[in-house]
Structure formats: C-alpha cells, structure tokens
Structure 1
C-alpha cells in the first residue's frame, strides 16, 4: 500500500464482511472506492467511514437520545484518525412522502416560493408558505393541496349490487379479521345479510355506507370447534368512514392503492387540480403563476429565470443568484427533463441522488468528506463528465470526496483508488489496493476492468422471429412515434437521460403487452414489486399514454417486467422468501424426526407466525429505532440476536443446522449445503448465475440495493423459466446493470443472452456500454432530454451505431476495437 502523509487512517474495520481492514485514504482528493458487488466497498465507505462520522456527531446530542440510538449506528471499527465531518449521498428508491417533489427534495421550491412572495406582482402581503400546497396558508381548502378529490360512493364501494352482504357485496371492506368484524357487527345489529344489496331499504344501505354513528355492540363470533369461543365488544364504522380514515392515515402504498380503488377520484373543482388557493394562484412572476413555472422542465425554468433583470442587490437579485446556479448544476447532472412538481416517487434512485448532489453545491460546506454512492447511475456515458466536474468543485471548495463507483471511465480519472475484494461476501472484505489509480496493476476484477475497456461491437445479430410494432405512440414527450421490436432478439434502448427510453419501454410497450389479450403478465407473482411495475405501465387511460395501432402482439404469451423496485419494505421480506426457496427449507425441517415427534408442521418454521417467532421482534430479527428528529433505523433484536425465532424452535436441526443458521448462509454456502435437494439447489444456482452468491438467504429487503433487487427478480424468473417453458416470453428490464461491477455485468449479460438463445425476447433500457456492445440491436432515443427528446435518432446493430453521429454512437466508436 502507498504511504500518505496526511489523511483518514482506518484501523481494524470489521463491519459485515470486512476482515479487520487497515487503510489510509488521502484528504482533499477524489478517491474512488471500487470492488465487485458484495465485496465490502459500501461497508467500508458508508458503514465504517460515514458511520463513524455519524456516530461522532450523535455523541454531541442529548444523552437520552444517544442512549436510544447508540445501537443503531455501529461502524464496528477499531479507530479512525483524521476523519472530517461526513456527508453521505446514497442510492435510494424513496424520495419522501406522497407530496414530495423534485422541488422539495432539491430545496429549490423554498427559494422559488420566496421569490414569488418577494418579487411577484401584487403579492398582497403573502409569505412564502402561502405558495406551498403543503401548508394551510397555501393549499386549496377543498382538496387539501392534492389537486384531486377522492370520494366514496355507493357504486364504488358496492360494485355488484346483485350480491348480498354475505356474498361479498361490500367489496370495499378490508380483508381478514377487520372485514369479518364489520360483517359480524351488522349481523348483531340485525341487518339483512342474505338479500341482494339492491333489494335492501335505501335507509339501510345509506346507514351502512355513510353513517357517522359509532355504535358498540357485543359480537358473538362463530368459530370452529377447536377454537376458543370468546365474545368481544365491536365498534361500528361506516364503509365510507373506514375508507377516508385509512386513506388519510396509511403509510402503505399497497393499502392506499386498494382504498383508492373503492373511491371515485376527480380533479378538484375549486382549484382545477392546481393545488393552491386563489390568492396564491393570482400572483405571477415572469408572467407565470407558481404552478405553471413548477410544471416546466428545469432547462426551461433556468432559461426563464436567467432572462430576468432584477435591480442590483434587491431581494429578487439575491434570490436569483442562489436559484440559477443551482438549476445549472441540475442541468449539468442530466436533470434538464425533470420539472419541479414531478413527484419524487416517480424518480429513479440515480435521479434522486443527483438532485441531492446538486442541492449540496448550494450548502457551501468546507472541510467535510462527501461519500457518494454511484452518482453516475442513470446517466448516459456522454453525460458522466458532469459528475466528475461536481466532485472537483467539492474538492476545490476545500472538501474530500469518496466515490463508490463502478464506471471505470470515472474511476480512471480519480486521484486515488481503494479496491476492496478480491471477490464478494466471505471471499471479499480485504483492501487489495490503495494508491494512485495509474499504478494499479494486479490480477483482480477491477484492475482487469481498468486495463481492458475496449469493446467488441456486435455486427452479426440474431435474426428476428417476428415483430412487435407500435404506431402513433404518445406519452409524455413522445408524440406520434412509430417503432418496432424484434422477437427472439436482444434489444437495447439507449439515449441520454430523459430522452424517453423508460417511457417507451417500461410504460408504453409494457402497457400494450399487458392489455394484449394473449399476453399474461407475471408481475402479480412478484408481490409489492409486481404491483409497482404494473403501476409504471398502467392502463392507457390511467397512465396518460396511447398508441394508434399495434401489431404482432398475438405471438406473445407472457410478459415479465423486472424493475428496481424493492422486493419488500421491511426486513420480513428476504432473499429466501422472495425466491420461494424457503418453502422448501421449511419442509425439510418439518420432515425431521424431532419436528414430527413434537407434531410441528412447516408453519412452525415460519418467522411470520407466532408459534415459531421471537416474541420481542415478532420474527423480524430487528427492531425499529424511531426518533422524532432523525429517520428511523433498524437495529438487531436484543433477545434473539437477529435469529428471528424463539429458542424452542431453534432446538430442531437439519444436517446440524437450525433454521436461523440456514438463513444466515450465503448463497454460495447454500449451494454446498443443499447439493442433494434439487428444487432448492435450482433456486440457489440461478442466484449464483446472476452474481448474487455473496448475499445471505435471510438478508432483508432494506439492505438490498435496487440493482440487487432487480437481479433477485431476474433469478426468480430464470428459475421458473428453466423449470417450465410457457410459450414466448418478452422480458423487459430497466437499467439492470445499476450497481454492478463490470465483472458482474458480464455475468448478467450472459444470463440475458441465454434467454434469447432459448428463443425468448429481451428488451432492456440501458446505459452500460458493455451491454450495448453485445446487443443484437440498439434503438437510440433523443437527441436530447425532455422536449428535445422522444424521437428515434438511430437504429441498428452496435457496429452500425458506432458510425452514427449521436450520443451513443460517439461513445461506442470511441471505445470500440
């Protein structure tokens, strides 16, 4: 390792798979932290270095708070000397609540509202809060600033009035016990449950659906002979009241979606969907009310505000001097296509991180260490130079930058390289090199990737076996586009950020496939992720897209859309449960002699059921630490130590392992343990095939990156595909290489090509040049972003595109052999 005079000195870092790492990192420089997926680089950069910086900050807060959070922040390091304050910007697929927007995440909305309050024409004494739809001062009183009114009606709550209550007429009732509770209360109150809903007296129907009364009755539920017979006091709530209360209080996206499906939604008649009250909407700046400015793409907002001529040193002048440079930073980072009012939940993890990155430039911090998590994600190779420029600006301002990155073109331009590995999981966790980038010469995946960046471009594509044709595509910035996709081919859709790639593939093409009578979507098998993917496509009417004609879709029997949405939102959703292999594991435990002696079934070995789970954490293995002033975080359960199960359940073993120890196995370790269990082994081997051998079977969803979640979904689909072919399948993937080292990209590309070699169709939205180079065909969208995009600027083999003067063509030509 190269010795440095002054820097950050890490000693005995042993978080996760780090093997008592010692490393020195220079300050005031651009340091790239690299390694294959799962090598431990994020554990070093974020968990250890930023974690220790966070721990030191938290030591300065009140003792009672420190006591609550001490176990939530544990960098597991011997010592770190020379550590400045740290600021971390990590990949995240969540950007805040339902009202969170590009403007709120970037903090630009605050400045824009202040600008309107100080420089808008005839502001009438309005303050900045008067221009926010999220405050009582600014929101439309009729819709509370949402722009939409949701109202439960008889038709929405009871879609089939020919059914009786007993037959499920009140479809809006919740499932499981809560719905049965409402049913039983009505029975105790003497309402007719057996006649068709439409035959009930109107006053009875209206009382059931809309009453504000909350009677409490003694319910005598009917239970099975083996169940405890116990009465309870039940409180009635009308169906409309249940829906409106749930909508206002739920934090669950899936429950919110269900509730809204039983309500009628319409644009607010008072504000016309503009969310603000009349006083705020009457004020204009640069000839526009604030909602109109917020709907423009950022490049147009920049142009409008740059054209203003305020009086020197006026409030308007001072505000514009803050806003315009911040907008320019956002444009430099490939965010020109976004608007200030764009909901944060619709953004990719890369877009969210770059918005936060642009916002940091306004903070004026000095002497801090920025830890950045792959800020190039979602950027076209031609746009990634802006990331380097931003990093250099941080350094010029007196800061340090640690860049966790897989783009070898960016890594090559760093001042210093820390490579963690050599491989993933148990075979990683060591610093294999720390020194100047130019001096790195070793037999490691990163050194090989740095030395071999030349691409071999495909010029002999697999012939298409058919064609999917779309004519007159209209969606967002796409207007009247005609496009075709070859069946039996690997097609990559490329283009700069915001050019319309994801809109074309993940929204329009996915939507037409779903609406096609012959296509059966498998997203429903994927739990929350499937619901989210279906939301991305939606129906044409709901999602605001349309096509004039489409052809060739009758040849498709299945569509599988694999997104980077989480496989779950809590530690209860794990790699083992999502892939289905845990069902087989529980059957093995239930089949042991000891389990049979105790008369335990597979249910006993589920951490989601009371009989087997740890009572303290309820089988989650973690407990959530919540503070009013800090985000909640998970910490290991103090009673089960993360095992999830109670002690009695762990007494049963299979091949010397209890069920918690099985969940603690890595995928690679599981391949040896289950070598004689074909069904489980098949799932394990598909996870290995996409480079996930380092993950643990019980790894919870919150610990997984978007790229890992997408590869887990792909592995699950590969497992299904190999066990039973079900006609022609179209696979749609959106930037599947996000978060992947070049060595892992090669594994992923191999698996995707195996699907095409087997006769299926793969269509990916992608920026990675290694994937683009080996595709049968590239469709490039552009030429720019937003209103300057939405068109096909090039279409052909990778070799043919390298001859075109387009953003993708130029970078392919520069990197080709």
Structure 2
C-alpha cells in the first residue's frame, strides 16, 4: 500500500542517498517556485528526479490493482528514508517527444484536435474543380430551387449511376430495366434500354437513369409529381440527382450532401476525421498522411564513383564476395563490356541504369549442379529497386531501417506536405484551409484567431465560439513560453529537448491543474535572454494557481526570481551530494558558496582584454535561403572563436547545422546529407576538416560508456594483457571485454545485473550473484594492475583515474581531456544512457581534444553550455579557448551571455523568430555588436560588458 502522508506546507525529504547524495535531509516549501542549483554532477537531478519524482511515481503506480501493475515497468523504491507532504508529481523533462512521424506540435498540444472540430462544424466547402462554393439541400429546398430556375420550361430528371468508369454494363442496363425505367442517358445521349444492350468495355462512360421528363410550373399537381421524382432520383442516385433543361441542355446538380452545382463533384458531410492525417478518411493516400515519401538517393548507394564495384563502390552490397548478386553484375558486365574491377565512373550510363533499376531483359546464367551444367533465365531486379521493395514490403523493422539508410525524405508530390486528401483542403474558414493554418507561425496564428470573429457568419460564430476560445488560450500559452516561432505542422521529431519541454509546460498550464508538484529540468535551455522573462512568468503562473514548482536550473534570472533556492555541492561526483546552502535568493547571496560567489560578483567569467586577430583568412557562405533564411550571406573569420546568436527560431540552426555543416561535411568526408539551399561557398582551401560536436548520445545501449567511446578502454585492456600474470596465462585484449565471451561473466553476459521477473509485481534488478556486479569472471578479475582489477578501473571516476594512469601516456592523454572539460566526476564505465546531452557533447569534445591537432580544423558546437553551472562554463571555455589558440576555428551557436562575451566575432541572426527572422542583424566583435540598436542580443550583451 502507498504511504499515507498528511499534506503540509512543506515537502520533507529525509535520508536521501540516491547516487552521490550523502544521506541528506531537506525541507522544500509547497506552492512556491523552488530552484535546485549547483555544479554539474553535484546531485541536483538525483534529488529532484531520482528521489522526489521517483517516489511520486511509485506511489501513483501502487494505487493500481495488482492486475494492472503487472503490465507496467518496474519502479524501484528510491534510496530515501522518508518523504512527507508529497502531492501528485508531474515531471517535465528534456526528452524529445518521441520518434513518431505522425506526431506534430498541433497533435501534442491538442490544438489540432480543436481545429479539426472547427473545420468539421463551421467550414465552408468549395469545389476543387470549379472553385464554387459547395452546397447541400433538403428535398423541399431542391423542389423550390427547380421551380424557381426552370419555371415554364421542360426538364429531364436524372439519377447519376456511373461516372467516368470503364465497362460494358450489360447487367446494369438489365437491372435498370427491371426497376421499371425505360430510358438512360449514356455519355450525354438519351437512349431507350434495349435487350442485350452493352457499351464498349475499354472506354470510360457516364450513365444516368432517366427518372422523369416534365414541364415545370407552380401547380399543385406538378409540385406533387416533382416531389416524388426527386425522392426517386435521390434513392437511385445515392443522394445525388441531376436536372437538364431540354431546350438549352443546361445541367444542374443537386445533393443532400455537399456538392458543386456546376460539375456535380460531391463531398461527404465532414467529420473531424476528414481532417485527420492519422485517419484513412483524411490522410493523403499517396503518403499515408506523413506528408513525405522516401526516395532512393544514388549518392548514398554510390558515395564515391572512383571506387570499383569489387572494392565496395556500391555500398548496399559491400566488397566482392562469391555471391549471386555479384554473379549477376558480372553477366551484365559481359553484355555492356565492363569489369567489376573498373571504377564505377567508367561504367556506361546504360549499364548503371541496368545495375541500379534492373530491366525487362532476361539473362542466361550457367550453373553446375550435381555435376550437370544447367542454364537458367533470370530477371535482374536492380539494386535500387531491391532497396525500395525491402523498405515498402518487408515486415522486419531492421531491414526497413537498413533500406532507409539509402533514401531521403522528400515532400509528397500529391499533397505537397499537407498530409491530407485533396477534398479536405477545400474546406475553408475565412478563406484558409486547415493545412494553411497549421503552417502559420504560432504568433501569426494567434493573431488570425483574434481577428476571426468579425469575418464569420452568425451561424459560424455560434458554432465556433467555444472552440476558438480553447484554441486562443492554448496558443497564448505557447507564445508565453517562447515558442511563437513554431508552427502546428512542425514534426515532433525535429524539436529540441528544450522546445519539447516547453511545449509540455504550455500544455500543463493549459490543463489548469491545482495542487500538483511540477519538476522541470532546465526549461531555459535554448531560450534567448529576451524570452526568458516570459518563461519565468509562466512558471510563476503555475505556482500562483496553487501548484508547487521545482526547477533544476543554472540560469541567473531564474535563481534570482525563485521563492527558495537549494544549492547542492560543494563539488561534483563523490565530492558533491550535500546541501551547501538553502533559503531565499537574498539569503543565498550571503553564503560562501561557488554559486553565491558568481551571483554576488565575487567571481566572474572575465572578458578577454584583447580579441584575437585570427589568421586573416575567411570562409564565406553566400545566399542561404533554407527555411526562414532570407538570402543570408556571412563571412567567417578563421582562427577565431565565433558565436552565432539570435532569438529562438531566428534561423541559427538552419544557417549552421542545415546549410554550412552539410556543405563542409560533403567536401571533406563525402557526407550525403543535402544542405539547405545556398548560392556558393568560398574559402574551403583554408581549413583541412570540419568536426561537429553535437549533443546526440555517445551510445544507445547500457554497454556503451565513456571508456569505450573515447577508445581508452582498448588501451586499458591492452595494458592488462601486459601484466606478468596475464602474459603467463596468454590472455589477449578480448579477455578483458564485457561484450564478448571469454573473460566476462556469462551468468549476466557482462552486464553485472540480473532481471528477476515478478509477474504481477515490478521486475527487480539484482546484482549478479556470480560476479557480484563486477561483469567479469573470477579468472579475469585475478589479473591486477597496481592492485586493481579491470572492474575496479571501470568503477573509477575520471578524477581518480588521471593520477592512477599518469605514467601511461596513451591512456593519460585521453582521460585527462575528459577531466579538462569538467567531467572528472563521471566513472569510466558509466552507462552512456545515463549521460545528459551536455555530458555526451563534452565527452565528444574531449575525444577530439585528445587527437593530434593540425591547427586548421573548423569546429561546430551547438549550445555546449547546456546543463552547466557558471564554474563549469568557465572550465569549458578555457578548454575551447586553448583549441582556438592553436589556430583552429570554433563556431558556437549560443544564447549564454557568459560565452557570447568571450567571442572574437559574433553573427547575430534575427530580428524575430519564424518568418520574422532569417536576416543578418549584426556582425563583428562583441563591442561592435553592442552598438546595434535593433539587436536583442546587443541589448543584453551591453550589460555584460559594462
């Protein structure tokens, strides 16, 4: 049973020991904005997420029945003595919103659901053929319209049966005849139904049943006859009928459903699913509602045409081996006069077309089976065709992933990225279809809805009032958390962790829950200083309606606006895990802690006395127009620290990550990612390589760790093989790997843990009883270097490992750089899945630093200060400055003013986010940029430099 705790005005945590926490006690005031701060690795997340949130989740799960709990993952009790005063907990972490291609900003926030309802109930329909407004009528309205239009004229009333379809229709004519009708209209000509009547089966035909031919007047007799004929025509025409004036031949269509009066095109009466790209009723049939399709990219199949087929020039089939596919290509070679040893670029276009896409011609293949020579006629499918078929038809997820490696996502040519059927796009509210609204920036969409009421009919206003009210509220919350530049059709896969977190925050504000404890992980990440104020106000709004808000944060403004601050330290890893100060921001400033020293000005990241001159060479990118960029041209001075700045959504990532980096990667490493549109690049000869140090994980399984990623583990394993005992036993490096059989513990297969399935209770992870969590078998653990086994070494922190290996240069150099980037607190064997994006990025940086340097490398880093305390930033920037001092160029996309003020050169993109951005606002040294009165960055930078 869950603990029963009486709610008080405090959350009381007693004896917290998760990870590096030192049995701490802390009292957290309820219904306040509380910031937990401290150095990276000091234990902030261990307290907030691994203790408080974990206990909240556990209590929630334990309210379920035993039957329900068996379907849920295991939730261990956090390592804490007691937590009192805990209300329901919601964590808003920095995880991306999933990988589903069907998830968008609109679906996550539920705004798109309200839009679908608005369009199903209040939109006007238009014909995709003529552009006319579609209409639907009752039978009485149709009768009145016919009398009004055709009074005094003779008409023919028809029921459409077949429209533009091939066939001879002999059975259909027999059926119509049996129903008592004598005439039909076939392809515009009225004919008597004759016995055995049929049409040319290979031509398309239009067939209507003639229901009645009559003169129209206002008499009661005509009125009754007309009403009966309408009812009959609607029955046989499935709610559609046609009227032709006999003298002029003018035709009009009438329908109980929506229909174009001129062309007869009809739509079903709309439901919300008709506007859903996740429903067969609304989704584009060609792309299944994804808005994109996968197309083969030949450059991914053949990245280097100078390589021969035999040497692996065709990547999907690899290097030559005795296999059926190479036998077939050799036969094609005989026909087209080439050898598989020839460079691919020397093979004729006709031959390559056959190799890639196959052909109708059959080839003769000789094969010796059981001593008898046999000949076979075979089709060659083509490598591109094979990949496409595997992607489209294979039931295996791994095969589909393999095939996708050779494809690009391109816009669907049918729906042009809207994801919807053609008919759905011809329903409009105030002249806009639902896809056009979804493509607007949220700020523009909010303005559109503000002005909507004055353009609606009274009926539409009545229908739309409540729906529009909900949409406007949700849009305003997104604007308030700094996401005004996003659009509803933006795929959730393309959102950064910070954007995804702020969308969840906006959704929670919209839900108006009360009495909840919210825990957030650095919500200010990715936000420009200008937008920070809005974010803080949103958190205060959550607090003010009666919720408790705990934020793990390093942002100075956030700390100063908090009601209560908890500072964890004094250092990272095993030297952290203690409460070094707690209280109001004013009380914190009086403490003698590292955080207080940076907040009260005792310590600071100093502005350099002199900016670097660089090497006088430049890299020039001209005419970038991707996404919202408006023909941007930039000149990057080499040998300097460059910062690209600008408000969120202004186009920084498009300019650097989607344009510049793919250009450089293609030039130096044959990268296949297509850059966003640009005119030209100049100055490539001045650099010798590009390295993008991003925040993607260093490994996707728990078996990956800092030691394996940096390759220092290979050196450590080799070192262990050189110990006397290992040499006597003949142990090779593989003996000291936990990924292969031989030296690892086979009971747990080198993981150190075993999973015990508890059926209706959560799975329990227990230490492997064979190896006691050490991953290796007894014989391997007997080998020791300086008294430590291979398992002991993996459990060492980097700070401990540096002096331990100081006499082994190959190992020392690699782990020292990990320490230099501020990661001394992590262990060499720490699972990569437990590392944050910022930690993963710094491990990549350390790996690059440990390599031999040419002095002409161009480094790109996207927000490297993510998750860093002021002191961590100082340490990191010292390392980056050393890279630049060696002659390299480092380009950083950054919002943090402590980094921006250190730059030698700034490129500021703006002026706003979304369509209001994409322009070069300012460039030059920080001092030069501060003189620009239109730059938001300049406004905040001026305060830092003063």
**Would you say same fold, with TM above 0.5?**
yes
Partner of 1:808: 937
* Aligned counterparts, 1:726-805, within 5 A: 726-805=854-933
Name the CA distance, whole Å, in 2 between partners of 1:286 and 1:607: 64
Name the CA distance, whole Å, in 2 between partners of 1:132 and 1:389: 34
- Pick which of 616-625 and 46-55 moved more: 616-625
**Shift in Å at residue 172 of structure 1?**
3.0
Partner of 2:674: 539
**Shift in Å at residue 53 of structure 1?**
0.3
* Aligned counterparts, 1:526-675, within 5 A: 538-540=673-675, 544-546=676-678, 548-615=679-746, 618-621=749-752, 643-675=774-806
**Shift in Å at residue 458 of structure 1?**
4.9
Question: C-alpha offsets along residues 187-240 of structure 1, whole Å, 9 cap, x if unaligned?
Answer: 9xxx946834455899xx9999899xxxxxxxx9xxxxxxxxxxxxxxxx9976
Name the CA distance, whole Å, in 1 between partners of 2:512 and 2:297: 53
Q: Does 1:300 align with 2:437?
A: no
Whether contact under 8 Å (1:455, 1:773) holds in the other structure is no
* Aligned counterparts, 1:104-115, within 5 A: 104-115=107-118
Whether contact under 8 Å (1:72, 1:635) holds in the other structure is no
Question: C-alpha offsets along residues 445-481 of structure 1, whole Å, 9 cap, x if unaligned?
Answer: 2111211287755573111311112222222111222
**Shift in Å at residue 79 of structure 1?**
0.8
Name the CA distance, whole Å, in 1 between partners of 2:504 and 2:747: 37
Q: Does 1:291 align with 2:441?
A: no
Q: 1:635 to 1:352 in 2, by over 3 A?
A: farther
**Match 1:146 to one of 290, 296, 301:** 290
Whether contact under 8 Å (1:165, 1:197) holds in the other structure is no
> Which of these two proteins has the greater Rg computed from alpha carbons?
2
**Match 1:118 to one of 116, 121, 128:** 121
Q: 1:200 to 1:592 in 2, by over 3 A?
A: farther
**Shift in Å at residue 322 of structure 1?**
1.4
Q: How many residues are paired up?
A: 753
SS in 2 for 1:652: coil
Name the CA distance, whole Å, in 2 between partners of 1:647 and 1:583: 21
Partner of 1:31: 34
Name the CA distance, whole Å, in 2 between partners of 1:62 and 1:469: 64
* Aligned counterparts, 1:73-472, within 5 A: 73-93=76-96, 95-122=98-125, 124-150=268-294, 171-173=315-317, 186=324, 192=327, 195-199=330-334, 244-245=389-390, 258-262=402-406, 267-309=411-453, 314-440=462-588, 441-452=590-601, 457-458=607-608, 460-465=610-615, 466-472=617-623
**Shift in Å at residue 735 of structure 1?**
0.8
Whether contact under 8 Å (1:491, 1:775) holds in the other structure is yes
Question: C-alpha offsets along residues 773-812 of structure 1, whole Å, 9 cap, x if unaligned?
Answer: 1211222111111111111222222233333322111112
Name the CA distance, whole Å, in 1 between partners of 2:694 and 2:467: 39
Whether contact under 8 Å (1:691, 1:748) holds in the other structure is yes
Partner of 2:43: 40
**Shift in Å at residue 87 of structure 1?**
0.6
- Pick which of 395-404 and 558-567 moved more: 558-567
Return the TM-score normalized by structure 2: 0.73
Q: 1:171 to 1:491 in 2, by over 3 A?
A: closer
Name the CA distance, whole Å, in 2 between partners of 1:349 and 1:98: 17
**Shift in Å at residue 370 of structure 1?**
0.5
Whether contact under 8 Å (1:370, 1:400) holds in the other structure is yes
Name the CA distance, whole Å, in 1 between partners of 2:496 and 2:410: 28
**Shift in Å at residue 419 of structure 1?**
0.7
Question: C-alpha offsets along residues 329-370 of structure 1, whole Å, 9 cap, x if unaligned?
Answer: 212222122112222222221111111111111112110110
**Shift in Å at residue 744 of structure 1?**
0.3
Whether contact under 8 Å (2:775, 2:791) holds in the other structure is yes
Whether contact under 8 Å (1:459, 1:799) holds in the other structure is no
Name the CA distance, whole Å, in 2 between partners of 1:734 and 1:413: 27
**Shift in Å at residue 284 of structure 1?**
2.4
**Shift in Å at residue 290 of structure 1?**
2.0
Whether contact under 8 Å (1:13, 1:48) holds in the other structure is yes
SS in 1 for 2:614: coil
Question: C-alpha offsets along residues 662-693 of structure 1, whole Å, 9 cap, x if unaligned?
Answer: 22211111113212221111111111111101
Name the CA distance, whole Å, in 1 between partners of 2:46 and 2:594: 19
Name the CA distance, whole Å, in 1 between partners of 2:523 and 2:945: 25
Aligned CA-pair RMSD:
3.8
Return the TM-score normalized by structure 1: 0.84
SS in 1 for 2:536: helix
**Shift in Å at residue 594 of structure 1?**
3.5
Q: 1:359 to 1:265 in 2, by over 3 A?
A: closer
**Shift in Å at residue 608 of structure 1?**
2.1
SS in 2 for 1:584: helix
Q: 1:780 to 1:245 in 2, by over 3 A?
A: same
Name the CA distance, whole Å, in 2 between partners of 1:636 and 1:320: 53
Name the CA distance, whole Å, in 2 between partners of 1:164 and 1:716: 33
Partner of 2:836: 705
Name the CA distance, whole Å, in 2 between partners of 1:578 and 1:650: 23
Name the CA distance, whole Å, in 2 between partners of 1:82 and 1:615: 45
Q: 1:258 to 1:94 in 2, by over 3 A?
A: farther
Q: 1:315 to 1:251 in 2, by over 3 A?
A: farther
Q: 1:470 to 1:740 in 2, by over 3 A?
A: same
Whether contact under 8 Å (2:629, 2:917) holds in the other structure is yes
Name the CA distance, whole Å, in 1 between partners of 2:61 and 2:931: 55
Partner of 2:630: 479
Whether contact under 8 Å (1:140, 1:271) holds in the other structure is yes
Name the CA distance, whole Å, in 2 between partners of 1:798 and 1:167: 51
Name the CA distance, whole Å, in 1 between partners of 2:306 and 2:560: 69
Q: Does 1:690 align with 2:808?
A: no
* Aligned counterparts, 1:45-60, within 5 A: 45-60=48-63
Name the CA distance, whole Å, in 1 between partners of 2:286 and 2:759: 30
Q: 1:711 to 1:623 in 2, by over 3 A?
A: farther
Whether contact under 8 Å (1:154, 1:209) holds in the other structure is no
Q: 1:100 to 1:550 in 2, by over 3 A?
A: same
Name the CA distance, whole Å, in 2 between partners of 1:154 and 1:506: 23
SS in 1 for 2:631: strand
Q: 1:749 to 1:355 in 2, by over 3 A?
A: same
Name the CA distance, whole Å, in 1 between partners of 2:803 and 2:291: 56
**Shift in Å at residue 634 of structure 1?**
11
Q: 1:319 to 1:657 in 2, by over 3 A?
A: farther
**Match 1:19 to one of 7, 22, 25:** 22
